[in-house]
Amino acid sequence: MPKPFIGLTTTHTSKSSKTPKYGVNVLYAKAISSAGGLPVLIPLNLSEDDLDSLIFNLDGILFTGGNDIDPRQYGNSSHRKVEGVDEERDRVEIHLVKKLISSSKPFLGICRGFQVINVAMGGTLYGHLPDQFPGNVIHDNHDLPRNFIAHSVSVDTDNCLSKIFSSTQAEVNSLHHQGVRRLASELLPAAYAPDNLIEAFELPRYPFGLAVQWHSEELQEVEIMRNLFQAFVDSCLFDNPK
């Protein structure tokens, strides 16, 4: 059986002018390949025309995690805790989201990927949750192992995520200081943290359009997290208009 080609968005891994690099955390690629896909890294120097050509030849895209999106992309002033803004990555990913959806090809977003999909479709973000969305849930656990279970999420019934998980509850890690403030009008919330912050959303009536705030690639020892990647890769193989 052929394997689907799945694009993985990348980030600048070195600021050195001598050895600039694009890269992605290994566990994203491992999760895709373990589910039967062929991961393809998407560099950040491509023009919009080249990105469009790449999308045509891909079967789906995984929007990976990373640093913060430029607040100007969603009409906010910068917060002192916003860091690691990469205008080139913002440009590439926002274009990819819009073009991919117009092509009806599957996508999965994780952490920053979850946030950039929302922004590209017209939604907004909290610049820093502790200041703008105070509550009793600690969402930024970067000082702990990346697979540390931080809290549960409640999954809405009768949506794509609940069918993949076969459950309305899941235990997740949490490695973010930003979150969805206003969900884009075309998207539907799919899961919530205990403080009611949106933790997953989906694009309804779409081959496969789903994004989660937690890092499921870091939780591949958990069956439902493997099922999430499997469902995505399967959709790239069987539900693709290419």
Which residue in this structure is represented by tokens 């890769």? Answer: 233
Which pLDDT score, from 0 to 100, does residue 225 have?
Answer: 98
Phi, psi of 109 (to 5 degrees): -115, 140
* Mean of pLDDT values over 202-217: 97
Give 17-28 pLDDT, tens digit per residue: 678 889 999 999
Task: Taking residues 101-123, report their average pLDDT.
Answer: 97
Domain boundaries, the chain: 5-238
User: What predicted TM-score, i.e. pTM, was given to this entire model?
Assistant: 0.95
Question: 60-63 and 5-9 as β-strands: parallel, antiparallel, unpaired?
Answer: parallel
pLDDT at 15 (0 to 100): 64
Q: Which of 3, 104, 21, 90 is nearest to 55 (CA)?
A: 104
Please report the beta strands in 51-202, taking only residues with DSSP state E, as ranges in sequence order. Answer: 60-63, 107-110, 124-126, 151-155, 169-172, 179-182, 188-192, 198-202
pLDDT digits (tens, 9 = 90+) for 127-186: 999 999 988 899 999 999 999 999 999 999 989 999 999 999 999 999 999 999 999 999
| CATH number for the segment(s) 5-238 | 3.40.50.880
**Tens digit of each residue's pLDDT (9 = 90 or more) over 231-240:** 999 999 976 5
Catalytic positions, please? 111, 215, 217
Structure letter (DSSP) for residue 60: E
What average pLDDT is seen over the chain?
Answer: 94
